[in-house]
A and B are shown apart, each in its own frame.
Chain A
Amino acid sequence: MTSAALKPGLFRPNLVRQAQAWLLLLPALIFLLAFTHLPTVSTVWNSFFSTSAGTPVDFSTENYQFLLEDEVFCQVLDNSFWYAVVTVPASMALALAMALWVNSKLSGKAALRLAYFTPTILPMISVANIWLFFYSPEIGLFNQILEWFGSDGYNWLGDPDLSLPSLMVMTIWKEAGFFMIFYLAALQAISPELYQAAEIEGASRFRMLRRITLPLLMPTTLFVLVNAILNAFKLVDHLFILTKGGPNNASNLLLYYIYENAFSFFDTAYAAALTVVLLMILVVLALLQFGVLERRVHYR
């Protein structure tokens, strides 16, 4: 108890209660400030300095002006856009399909669920290493299979047209299992009596899926969507192993480009400006998701 608690006064108890509340919030607040808010502010601050020899000097907007002229940035933004647009819906659709399948009555479904979930347990780095063996030009699994059919195979990661799609396939493979778990949990929370009632009313399987399952999965879909989009921008571990953004930035993504600028080219101010752009994109997406979709989601 603080000393204020000992002195009775008209406004004292209120003050003590407020102090207590702040004290209880303090540990979380410190961490949030130190690791989220301060870096954000300092990033925005740093992005307004020009850099020479790794240290920021004068205040200017030249980083942002350069953004517009930077062709690599445009390509990276384009790549990131397509990467998100393809992997997010594809992995969600696949996750839903797998969850619906695994949720049905079928023997050995525990093993199947585990099989689907395995990619999620693996760290992205190991996943990338495994897929490196799939994609390798000479010894790779895909090319060996293609060889049986008389094809020469492709240079999956070396071809500018194929490198980004190759990364997408791997990402979908990894993400779908993770999202499946959320869908599976949501599916199991739906009362079987709802389906029985629908069945008695003569609803077809497709109708049940469209009128009951999908609407009741909407909260999960929103949650998964937010996570999927964040992951699409956040996950770049595989780039380190597989392509390093190449060839000629064909598979470079925004976050990896930020990393390159900050730690390979030591242009921290430009990296900060790029980070601000990334932040802006994510904020806009989050606002869109919660603002538009929230209204159409039924929460139980």
Chain B
Amino acid sequence: MSFLSVRQLTKAWRDTRTSAHSDSPFVKAVDDISFDVAEGEFIALLGPSGCGKSTTLKMLAGLETPTAGQILLNGRDITHLPPGKRRLSMVFQSYALFPHLSVKDNILFGLQARKVARQEQHKRLMEVLELVDLQEQVHKKPGQLSGGQCQRVALARAIVSQAPLCLMDEPLSNLDARLRNEMRCEIRALQKKLGLTVIYVTHDQIEAMSMADRIVLLNQGRIEQMGAPHQLYTQPETTFAASFIGHPPMNLLTLQQDVLGIRPEQIRVLGTTDNGVPPEDCLSSADQAIATSLPVDQVAETSLTSDLIQHTLPVINCDYHGADTQICLDFNGQVLKLSLAGHHVLSPGHRLTVGWKAEHEHRFSSKTGQRLATSSVPRHSLSKETKKDTSHVA
């Protein structure tokens, strides 16, 4: 028996815009979602905006009523229980702190409502204040706190209830990037320390990848894929999962029979050739210097090169990101992106020889977008086969 079990959860709304071409008068925000959560697990509900992740969370919290389906917490059916009776806590995107109450009263709001004994209240308050490092701010009001401190108060309010399940609705999206990184580690550490079961809604794949034990990837109200972060990264089940996880997203090249997926970071540069490009026109001397200093992969020197699937492709443009440069190549009219460490300036038209290992290729059905079984075939036989395939296409 799992700790939290979500079964065929569905939320439909009546479509207010009477669309002629739609046969159903309902819009399904969440469509038949089922998943199980073990105690102490950190689950991320990940997806683009409008995918139904927040609605799912609200149904778990009891703030929305499901149209169909069941939610079991510790074997108890909580589908229609009021939020206060579900034994869970929640951290809101906007923090939802009571602006007129001090930090202390905000944190103790729930305990007072539940009529916990005064001594117990004080004890728990002291504990959580230490956990979130807010001892100095007890008597301040939320308006006097910084964004990060407000976030901590919201966390403290959730923790102090000692509810075994904590729901978080994009808790970090209102913080700046630096603070977000800090809080990410802190939330994860707190969760581990207290053994909390967390359902964490986010649209930020980095948050999901770095914090979650398992990710539930949602798209248009349905579960696209569910699994550990590395599973989603290495074995995306669908083209959506492939393009959503990873930054920059996976290259998806439509071939004749199927879709080829290859991660930008797994493409290696094997050499540069500037044939076909008049050097004085497109490549300034500075460019040339950089171009020739491209970190041509060491693999290129070895015999292993033959294991790589190779292409020589013209550059479309370069995009410098600080740590790396993202280069767009023209792959038969489709864009093939790759990231290369360091600063590089390559003129459009400059030709690069790139290659990747066959095991890094992903294959998807061009019709359904589902993963095709080929990539689980042993590496060597595959590499030859796919090599033939792609070279024929190229």
Q: What is A's interface to B at a CB cutoff of 8 Å?
A: 191, 193-194, 196-204, 207, 211-212, 215-216, 218, 298, 300
Q: A197 near B84 (CB under 8 angstroms)?
A: no
Contact partners of B63 in chain A: CB under 8 A: 196, 199-200
The residue on A at minimum CB distance from B113 is A203
CA distance in complex: A212, B112 (Å):
13
Q: Is the CB of B82 within 8 A of A191?
A: no
Nearest CB in chain B: distance from A92 CB, A: 19
Contacts A211-B109, A300-B143 given; indicate if A200 touches B89 (C-beta within 8 A): yes
- Give chain B residues whose Cβ lies under 8 Å from the Cβ of A207: 113
> B65-93, CB under 8 A of A: which get 1 and which 0?
00000000000000000111110111010
B86-125 interface mask toward A, CB cutoff 8 Å, 1 = contact, 0 = none?
Answer: 1011101010101111000000011001100000000000
Question: Which A residues touch B109, using CB under 8 A?
Answer: 198, 201, 203, 211
- The answer to whether A197 and B92 touch across the interface, beta carbons within 8 angstroms, is yes
Chain A: minimal CB distance from B125 (Å): 14
Contacts A196-B83, A197-B98 supplied; 18 other A-B pairs, CB < 8 Å: A193-B96, A196-B92, A196-B96, A198-B98, A198-B113, A199-B62, A199-B63, A199-B83, A200-B110, A201-B161, A202-B113, A202-B114, A203-B110, A203-B113, A207-B113, A215-B101, A216-B99, A298-B141
Question: Which residue of B100, B113, B141 contacts A201 across the interface (Cβ within 8 Å)?
Answer: B113
| Measured CA separation A49–B304 after assembly (Å) | 114
Alpha-carbon distance A193/B100, docked complex (angstroms) = 15
Say which size band chain B's interface belongs to.
20 to 34
Q: For A202, what are the chain B residues with a Cβ–Cβ distance below 8 Å?
A: 83-85, 110, 113-114
The complex places the Cα of A131 from the Cα of B41 at a distance, in Å, of 68
A218 partner residues in chain B, CB cutoff 8 A: 100
- Closest Cβ neighbor of B86 among chain A residues: A200
Establish whether residues B113 and A197, one from each chain, have CB atoms under 8 Å apart when the complex forms. no
Residues A197 and B99 in contact in the complex (CB < 8 Å), given A202-B110, A211-B109, A300-B143: no
A137, B62: Cα distance in complex, Å: 57
Q: Is the C-beta of B61 less than 8 angstroms from some C-beta in chain A? A: yes
Residues on A with C-beta less than 8 A from B94 are 191, 193
* Contact A194/B161 with A200-B61, A202-B110, A211-B109 known, Cβ cut-off 8 Å: no
Nearest A residue to B90 via CB reads A200
Contact B85–A298 (Cβ < 8 Å): no
A200 and B99: CB pair below 8 A?
Answer: no
Shortest distance from the beta carbon of A187 to any chain B beta carbon, whole Å: 15
**Complex Cα–Cα for A118 and B114 (A):** 42
CA distance A282 to B119 in the complex (A): 47
| Chain B residues within an 8 Å CB radius of A215 | 100-101
Nearest-neighbour CB distance to chain A for B64, whole angstroms, equals 10
Within 8 A of A (CB), among B156-215: 157, 161
- B109: nearest residue on chain A (CB-CB)? A201
Q: Which 10 A-B pairs have the closest CB atoms?
A: A202-B84, A201-B110, A298-B100, A197-B96, A193-B96, A203-B113, A215-B100, A199-B83, A200-B83, A200-B90
In whole Å, how far is A190's beta carbon from the nearest beta carbon of chain B?
9
Interchain CB contact under 8 A, B96 and A191? yes
A54 shortest CB reach to chain B, Å: 56
Instruction: State how many angstroms separate the Cβ of A68 from the closest Cβ of chain B.
Output: 45
Given A198-B109, A300-B143, CB of A212 within 8 Å of CB of B83:
no
Contacts of A198 in B (CB 8 A): 98, 109, 113
Q: Given A201-B84, A201-B161, A300-B143, does the pair A212, B98 have CB atoms closer than 8 Å?
A: yes
Nearest-CB residue, chain B, relative to A207 = B113
Q: How far is the CB of B110 from chain A (nearest CB, A)?
A: 3
CB contact between A203 and one of B84, B86, B99, B101 (< 8 Å): that residue: B84
Contacts of B61 in A (CB 8 A): 196, 200
- Which of B62, B63, B86 has the most chain A CB atoms inside 10 A of its CB? B63
The interface bits of chain B over 237-271 (1 if a CB of A lies within 8 angstroms of the residue's CB, else 0) are 00000000000000000000000000000000000
> Beyond A204-B113, A207-B113, A211-B109, is A199–B84 a contact (Cβ under 8 Å)?
yes
Chain B residue contacts of A211, Cβ below 8 A: 98, 101, 109
A203 and B98 CA atoms in complex are apart in Å by 13
Residues of B within 8 A of A200 (CB): 61-63, 83-84, 86, 88-90, 110
19 A-B residue pairs with CB within 8 Å: A193-B92, A197-B96, A197-B157, A198-B98, A198-B109, A199-B63, A199-B82, A200-B62, A200-B86, A200-B89, A200-B90, A200-B110, A201-B161, A202-B85, A202-B110, A203-B113, A211-B101, A211-B109, A215-B100
Using A201-B110, A201-B113, A203-B84 as known contacts, say yes or no to A194 and B98 having CB atoms under 8 A apart: yes
A298 near B82 with CB under 8 A, answer no
Docked pose: A298 CA to B100 CA in angstroms: 6
Closest Cβ neighbor of A197 among chain B residues: B96
In Å, the complex CA distance between A191 and B85 comes to: 22
CB distance from B98 to the nearest CB of A (A): 6
- How far apart are the CA atoms of A193 and B93 in the complex, in Å? 9
Q: In whole angstroms, what is the CA distance A47 to B394 when docked?
A: 103
Query: A71: shortest Cβ distance to chain B, in Å?
Result: 48
* B282 CB, min distance to chain A CBs, angstroms: 55
Of B89, B92, B100, B110, which is in contact with the most chain A CB atoms at under 10 Å from its CB? B100
Name, among B82, B88, B113, the residue most crowded by chain A CB atoms within 10 Å (CB to CB).
Answer: B113
Contact with A along B298-316 (1 / 0, CB 8 A): 0000000000000000000
CA–CA, A197 and B168, complex, Å: 12
Residues of A within 8 A of B110 (CB): 200-203
Which chain A residues border B100 with CB–CB below 8 Å?
Answer: 215-216, 218, 298
What CA separation (Å) do A194 and B92 show in the bound complex?
9
Cα–Cα, bound, A215→B62 (Å): 26
Residue of B nearest to A204 (CB): B113
